[in-house]
């Protein structure tokens, strides 16, 4: 398990973070995983085990969350195999719970990093306990009789000895988030510092919904110590030509509009509302330039790349008039002109991936086996040809490449849909071979 804990950057001795701050942080975190929880009314925990591959690996995911957390005025995220362990590390100012075995990492932490131990700090201190390891070293029977059940439960959950349960945060249907400014702001452009935090939360909410916005409204409330003519506050609505959740673009637009606003009184609170939310069509990235966007045809791009890397390093497939799978496609230099007439494409099913050499399969009776018995879905698709094609064998003799096969589409319980064939008029009449895999 990979847990991350995020603490709002407030003085722990003064007060707990506000509900708005925790809700906003949780909403922003939903773009990374649906398993987000507010724990102990002081931190936001994210379970990220299933998200590492989606974001390019653990290292890139950690770096991405760390960078955005700094903009949201959150402490650096702490990582651990359990949520309570990650929270304890965050309170201790540590980040990596995987540097050593978990029990060694937690044993060195002070008592106040675990809430269940902190409430008994006075009693535990008189028993000579200074760290979580000291508490864990006490007899369990004595701990259960002298202290409440939450202490042993929290210790076991933090050390991964007992499962944790969380109430997962649900993605709200509408984004409307408030922020109390740390100090009163008198100039409108200075509102961008706090508004950007709200924009980050809104973009995280949009990413979780796979959507973008074409209109959002920033509202501000004037300080209570204001003149009677100033009013309660003001608002500013920003519209975009197309749906987007690009934080930099939205920040620049907001900055341009705020530069033209004159505040009538100091501002103490902000609110951001997403007015118009639309589904954002995701486009898959391509390794090659898009001819529509670049204005250059794919053929011209291939010619330039081939000139740079060499003609034999940039190849394209060319279909041949041959039903044998091994000879159906030839790879030719991309710079060569294509044939005047393309070969007809076979009406047979075509697998997405071919093995370099057909793999002989075991059989039970007349039924082929590959990671278990195979179910034949369709066939036989008969292919016979190649009598005209002769190649030298290992001894140098010219040998015919004739194939006589019955192809089948088969289903494996573990390997998926396969492309297999059965040889005909062969010495081994029960020979089955695997040649391709359907994507």
Is the peptide bond between 380 and the residue preceding it cis, with omega within 30 degrees of 0? Answer: yes
Domains assigned to the chain: 3-158 (no CATH), 176-279 (3.30.1490.100), 291-333 (no CATH), 353-437 (no CATH)
pLDDT tens-digit profile of 10-60?
655 445 678 888 989 999 999 999 999 999 888 999 999 998 888 888 889
Q: What is the pLDDT of residue 132?
A: 92
Q: What is the pLDDT of residue 254?
A: 92
Q: What is the pLDDT of residue 271?
A: 93
Angstrom distance (rounded) from CA 335 to CA 315: 8
Q: What is the pLDDT of residue 289?
A: 56
Q: What is the pLDDT of residue 174?
A: 92
Of 92, 165, 95, 105, nearest to 136 (Cα)? 105
Burial (CB < 10 A; 0-12, 13-18, 19+), residue 177, is: buried
pLDDT tens-digit profile of 327-344?
677 777 776 766 665 555
pTM summary value: 0.62
Q: Which residues of the chain are under the pLDDT cut of 50? A: 13-14
Q: What is the pLDDT of residue 345?
A: 55
Long-range contacts of 381-389 (CB under 8 A, 24+ apart): 381/348, 381/349, 381/406, 381/407, 381/408, 382/406, 382/407, 383/323, 383/324, 383/348, 383/407, 383/421, 385/322, 385/323, 385/324, 386/322, 386/324, 386/327, 389/327
């Amino acid at each position: 398990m990979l847990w991350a804990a995020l603490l709002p950057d407030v003085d722990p001795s003064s007060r707990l973070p506000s509900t708005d701050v925790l809700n906003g942080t949780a909403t922003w975190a939903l773009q990374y995983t649906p398993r987000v929880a507010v724990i102990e009314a002081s931190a936001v925990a994210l379970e990220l085990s299933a998200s590492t591959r989606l974001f390019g690996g653990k290292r890139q995911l950690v770096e991405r969350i760390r960078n955005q957390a700094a903009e949201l005025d959150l402490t650096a995220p702490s990582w651990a195999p359990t949520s309570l362990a990650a929270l304890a590390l965050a309170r201790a100012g540590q980040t990596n719970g995987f540097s050593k075995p978990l029990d060694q990492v937690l044993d060195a932490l002070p008592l106040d990093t675990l809430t269940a131990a902190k409430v008994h700090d006075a009693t535990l201190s008189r028993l000579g306990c200074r760290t979580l390891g000291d508490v864990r070293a006490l007899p369990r029977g004595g701990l259960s009789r002298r202290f409440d059940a939450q202490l042993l439960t929290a210790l076991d959950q933090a050390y991964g000895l007992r499962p944790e349960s969380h109430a997962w945060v649900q993605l709200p249907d509408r984004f409307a988030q408030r922020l109390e400014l740390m100090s009163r702001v008198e100039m409108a452009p200075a509102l961008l510092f706090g508004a950007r935090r709200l924009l980050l939360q809104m973009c995280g909410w949009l990413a979780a919904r796979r959507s973008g916005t074409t209109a959002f409204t920033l509202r501000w409330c004037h300080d209570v110590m204001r003149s009677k003519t100033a009013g309660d506050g003001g608002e500013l609505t920003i519209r975009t030509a197309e749906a987007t959740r690009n934080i930099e673009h939205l920040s620049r637009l907001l900055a341009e509009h705020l530069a033209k606003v004159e505040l009538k009184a100091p501002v103490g609170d902000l609110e951001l509302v997403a007015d118009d939310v639309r589904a954002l069509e995701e486009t898959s990235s391509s390794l090659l330039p898009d001819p529509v966007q670049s204005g250059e045809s794919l053929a011209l791009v291939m010619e330039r790349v081939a000139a740079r890397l060499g003609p034999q390093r940039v190849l394209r497939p060319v279909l041949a008039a041959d039903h044998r799978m091994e000879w159906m496609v030839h790879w030719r230099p991309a710079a060569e002109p294509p044939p005047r007439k393309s070969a007809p494409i076979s009406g047979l099913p075509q697998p997405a991936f071919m093995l370099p050499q057909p793999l002989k399969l075991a059989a039970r009776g007349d039924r082929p086996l590959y990671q278990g018995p195979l179910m034949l879905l369709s066939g036989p698709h008969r292919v016979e040809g190649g009598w005209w094609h002769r190649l030298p064998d290992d001894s140098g003799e010219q040998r015919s490449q004739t194939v006589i096969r019955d192809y089948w589409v088969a289903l494996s319980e573990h390997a998926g849909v396969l492309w297999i064939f059965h040889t005909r008029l062969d010495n081994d009449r029960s020979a089955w071979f695997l040649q391709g895999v359907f994507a």
